[in-house]
Amino acid sequence: MNIFRLTGDLSHLAAIIILLLKIWKSRSCAGISGKSQILFALVFTTRYLDLLTSFISLYNTCMKVIYIGCSYATVYLIYMKFRATYDGNHDSFRVEFLVVPVGGLAVLINHDFSFLEILWTFSIYLESVAILPQLFMISKTGEAETITTHYLFCLGLYRALYLFNWIWRFYFEGFFDMIAIVAGVVQTVLYCDFFYLYVTKVLKGKKLSLPA
């Protein structure tokens, strides 16, 4: 494992922990898109079904279990425990416009036309756009809490670090996965505007606001 993948995984884990702590400590899921969290739960579920068929390493297994468990815990907190604080009116992105095309694309473009491979490909494509409901919600409300922006920054940083991971693996291992790389680039591009606002506003103590 190279340093970019390790730091990417840690950044991803930090994002998840930040979000869970934010919800639990504030006893509120205000400003959090439940639809994005459902999409992430779907991403981890479809990607890590290989937990039932293969073992790579203890680290790999533990991280997969943590991602799946935390994603469903987040969905539970939003839609069950703190449901009264969930802003469904602003969380109005039509996720079927993401899931259906992504599903079709996964069937058409994949490495191997098998059930698990199609699900893995679906998860890669879906992850690249799963944050859109959250970004749409922020643009609709006009602003985001600082802790929410930290979550988004760590999530975007994870994806950017994984791009460097693919570059490292190509040069030192000869490994190249076009599907993962293209999806990762798309996802990173979606965060670019947010990264700029995060650096210029949030890190200077200003409140983040996005154009509606």
Over residues 45-57, the pLDDT tens digits come to 999 999 988 888 9
Contact 70, 11 (CB under 8 A): no
pLDDT of residue 153: 85
How do residues 91-104 score in pLDDT, each as one tens digit? 999 999 999 999 99
- Between CA 176 and CA 186 the distance in angstroms is 17
pLDDT of residue 128: 92
- Confidence band of 152 (pLDDT split at 50, 70, 90): confident
Q: Tell me the H-state helices in 77-131.
A: 96-108, 115-129
Q: Would you state the structure tokens that stand for residue 145, as one six-digit string?
A: 């809490």
Is the pTM here over 0.85, yes or no? yes
Question: What does the domain layout of the chain look like in residue ranges?
Answer: 3-201
Nearest to 31 by CA among 141, 195, 127: 141
Q: Where is average pLDDT lowest: 27-41, 88-102, 128-142?
A: 128-142
